[in-house]
Amino acid sequence: MPPVTLACHAMATRFELVLHGDNPVALRAAGEEALGEIERLEAQLSLFRPGSEIAHVNARAAQGPVRVTPPVFSLLQHAQRLHRESGGAFDITIAPLVRCWGFMGGSGHLPDPDELTEARACVGMSLVHLDPAEFTVRFERPGVMFDLGAIGKGYAIERATEVLREAGVTSALLHGGTSSVQALGHPPDAESWKIGIEYPQAGLGFQRETPASELPAGSPGLLAAVLLCDEAMSVSAVWGKAFQAEGKTFGHVLDPRTGQPVTGSLLTALVLPSATETDALSTALLTLGANGHDQIAQLRPGMRTLLATESGGQFHVEAKGIRVSQPPGHTGAQGVERS
């Protein structure tokens, strides 16, 4: 029986869902409910929607405690824990820096030095106070802002997958923007979903001609083919939005610890059961680069990681638990696989 496929546009990206089963009517109903959950979460978490809980916090938390719903509070606590575990490389208070560098609704520009100094003073989870007794959020000073862009999409995918599981769906694949994907069970004709990651030179993200396509590890331009079963994977990359100035290219991924765009790292991939965590930690790994690979990889048992970096014109890949391919005709790539 052919799969049921659905899609929606939310969180500034396209979400696609593929479901297998014997009852297409029930599958479609479950899929529509799952996509509806993603749209509901966008309305709750987007800093660009004036009526969202996050926008409400951003507008008022510097004046006093702001109450949020328990699920949003739990997500903020999770983000706080990931910030601590990543040594500050993942930080949902990054918004002032994103705005200062011109990436909030724009393509980017060099910041004014004084404005950058002020923005940096507004970034850091030490400026955020979470009260678990009252479910309130308070900011230490004006100018602090949340931006859940590096965790919200993964969280939405994970919640949508829970909706599918509660509806009795046992085989599904859901991805958002081809950068975060969660597998529920496995396809009918295989033990795992096989997802391809392209070389940065060939284009970033997942190679997704068809949702359940088999992607051979030797395909030209394919960096890795990753098998997923009841797991999630996120891919992060330094560009998407970028601008050139003073003879340099500046990407949109910013290091919250320095206030500067990430350099050296090109692409990361990270596999765990939780799409919330893969979304956040793939960004943290991209920010930390090679020096932080071991730190991130040791945070969760069974984590699989891949990091592509560039130094001195040389392209380098280090993978732990993910097999790296060397496509025919590709030059300049040095692959290192470590279990």
What pLDDT, on a 0 to 100 scale, did the predictor assign at position 248?
86
Token pair 């060099």 is found at 110
What pLDDT, on a 0 to 100 scale, did the predictor assign at position 120?
98
Classify 238 in phi/psi space as left (phi over 0), alpha (psi -120 to 50) or beta.
alpha
CB 286 within 8 A of CB 89: no
What pLDDT, on a 0 to 100 scale, did the predictor assign at position 326?
59
- pTM score, whole prediction: 0.90
CB 309 within 8 A of CB 286: no
CA dist 156 → 129, 175, 298, 326, 333 (Å): 24, 10, 25, 34, 34
User: Which residue intervals of the chain are DSSP H helices?
Assistant: 24-45, 53-60, 70-85, 95-100, 113-121, 152-166, 275-288, 293-297
Token pair recorded at residue 66: 């702001």
CA dihedral 188, 216, 296, 280 (to 10 degrees): -60
Terminal alpha carbon distance of the chain:
38
Domains and CATH numbers, the chain: 53-139 (1.10.3980.10), 191-223+231-338 (no CATH)
pLDDT, one tens digit for every residue, the chain (339 residues): 899 999 999 999 999 999 999 999 999 999 999 999 999 999 999 999 999 999 999 999 999 999 999 999 999 999 999 999 999 999 999 999 999 999 998 889 999 999 999 999 999 999 999 999 999 999 999 999 999 999 999 999 999 999 999 999 999 999 998 789 999 999 999 999 999 998 875 333 433 332 333 334 444 478 999 999 999 999 999 867 888 898 888 989 999 999 999 999 999 999 999 999 999 999 999 999 999 999 999 999 999 999 999 888 788 999 999 999 754 444 333 333 433
Task: Concatenate the DSSP letters of all residues of 273-337 into one string.
Answer: S-HHHHHHHHHHHHHHGGGGHHHHHTSSTT-EEEEEEEETTEEEEEEESSPBP--TT--SEEEEE
